[in-house]
Amino acid sequence: MKLLLASTAEWRSRLEWLAVELARQAGSSLRPVWSEAASAELRLGERRMEHAELEGLWRRLSLEAEQDGPLDGFGRFDERHAPQDLDRPWITERAREFFGEAAGTPEFHVFFTHDVDRTTGLEATSLVKAALQTLARRGSNWLSLGAALDHGRMNRRLRELLELESAEGVRGIYFMISGPAGLGRYDSRTDIRWRSALRAARMIREHGGVIGLHGSFHVREERGYAQEARRIRQATGEAVLLQRNHYLRLDTRRFCGQLEDAGIRLDCSLGFTRRMGYRTGVSGLWRPWNLEQERPAAIAALPLVYMEAPGQQKDPEPVLRELEQVLRPAAQAGGALTLLVHPEVFAVDRRWYDMYRELIRLCRGLGARLDTDPLEFLNKKLEEPGHGG
């Protein structure tokens, strides 16, 4: 059966990309056969998607729908104005419905990821936060002054996390900041050349984890991805092929070209800091659309569905219930997604280890694979017939 695409020449490349990505979400190897027409239509046997639906799908998956949206105080798309349908991967579900028998058997992969924002409590802003918290005698969202002065505390807790993952069969992805560190409000709080950071990188490698770049707050304006990736590569000897932006602060119009220029192959930044769900409507790997250059990107992306928040470790049940509702459609439709827990929270409160175990049990109970190598997975998905590799 042929996948037939009709559109104007102006919309051809956009909709060919969309058709390939819908097929990828459905696990189908079909590729579109294009013909020129005044109105767009995608047809597979008796099934059809017409122009209005195709345009809506393209705008959401390409992030075009966010381009005129309001920005928050960090210069990101304001997630308070995100659509209300974040709790379901509706584009993936629509793709599987459309491709029907042509769709493959769903596979569900969950990647546990960690943004390594700090590697020692002795960093200057950490000490200031700890001192103020101690003097105020309230709050528990940061280290006590005594804990901050314990130079090895963060890496000891990181080792416990890595040992937990090894025991549970989880292959963690650790996004590391390159530095240099600074004292400005949004400057980096660690440097990959510090002994504490090098020790952290060594432990991650020894436990089978994967190291990626945690692009700095200002990297999008400075087009500094290549420089930051090079610093990590030089310090650790690791190839740096994965990336997530600090504060999830990426330029959604230009990031594809910026990451391509840096040699990055996989981005994990597309999610929200406070809202669970599917920012682009998909639950699996996809190639983004390069909005700046109007073409399919050479990089791929995995959705970020959950980021931990302060206090969740004290009463995890409501969070776990909500997350289960969000993940269940992805488990049924298939796909691959990321969850994020920052390593520093384990140094602040040991209850995060219990919370983390529950997250692992939840995902395993939904049938997720947790030990997938992200680069092997990427290569497999992009080399499959019809998937634009």
Q: pLDDT tens digit string along 307-346?
A: 999 999 999 999 999 999 999 999 999 889 999 999 999 9
Which of 99, 127, 142 is a domain's end point?
Answer: 99
- CATH number for position 298: 3.20.20.370
Per the DSSP assignment, residues forming a β-bridge with 108 are 335
Q: Are residues 118 and 85 in the same domain?
A: no
pLDDT in tens, 177-215: 999 999 999 999 999 999 999 999 999 999 999 999 999
286 three-class SS: strand
Residue 137 has pLDDT above 90, yes or no: no
Task: Tell whether 244 and 325 lie within a shared domain.
Answer: yes
Whether residue 121 is contained in a domain is answered as: yes
Mean pLDDT throughout 264-272?
98
Band of residue 104 on the pLDDT scale cut at 50, 70, 90? low
- Do 192 and 286 fall into the same domain? yes
CA torsion through residues 33, 294, 81, 255, sign? positive
Last residue of a domain, one of 74, 99, 124: 99
Whether 63 and 193 share a structural domain: no
Domain assignment of residue 202, yes or no: yes
Beta bridge mates, 245:
215
> Strands, DSSP E only, in the chain?
3-7, 32-36, 41-44, 47-50, 108-116, 173-176, 210-215, 242-245, 266-267, 289-290, 295-296, 300-301, 304-307, 335-340
pLDDT at 102: 64
Q: Are residues 118 and 267 in the same domain?
A: yes
The sheet that has 3-7: what strands, in order across it?
Answer: 32-36, 3-7, 41-44, 47-50
Output DSSP code: residue 293. Answer: T
Q: Does 7 lie in the same domain as 152?
A: no
Residue closest to 18 by CA, chosen among 273, 296, 304: 296
Residue 181 and residue 55 share a domain: no
In which band, very low, low, confident or very high, does the pLDDT at 389 lie, cut at 50, 70 and 90?
very low
For residue 67, tell me if it sits in a domain.
yes
pLDDT of 354 above 90? yes
50 and 8: one domain? Answer: yes
What pLDDT was estimated at residue 140?
67
Q: Are residues 36 and 150 in the same domain?
A: no
Confidence band (pLDDT; 50, 70, 90) for 298?
very high
Distance (Å, rounded) from C-alpha 374 to C-alpha 368?
14
Q: Mapping DSSP to helix (H, G, I), strand (E, B) and coil, where does residue 313 land? A: coil
Q: How confident is the model at residue 139 (pLDDT cuts 50, 70, 90)?
A: low
How far apart CA 24 and CA 388 sit, in angstroms, is 9
Task: Find, among 217, 247, 265, the residue nearest to 382 by Cα.
Answer: 265
Domain count within the chain: 2
Q: Do residues 195 and 312 both lie within one domain?
A: yes
Predicted pLDDT at 46 = 95
Residue 369 has pLDDT above 50, yes or no: yes
Residues 23 and 153 in one domain: no
Q: Which residues pair with 115 in a beta bridge?
A: 175
Domain boundary among 99, 132, 156: 99
More confident site: 174 or 136: 174
DSSP labels, 79-127: GGGS-TTTTS-HHHHHHHHHHGGGS----EEEEEEEEE--S-TTSHHHH
Please check whether residue 389 lies inside any domain of the structure: no
Range of the domain at 379: 108-383
Shared domain for 26 and 130, answered yes or no, is: no
Q: How confident is the model at residue 138 (pLDDT cuts 50, 70, 90)?
A: low
* 248-249-251 Cα angle (round to 5): 125
Report in angstroms the alpha-carbon separations of 37 from 27, 158, 174, 210: 28, 57, 47, 47
Average pLDDT score over residue span 233-262: 96
Asked if the structure places residue 388 within a domain, the reply is: no
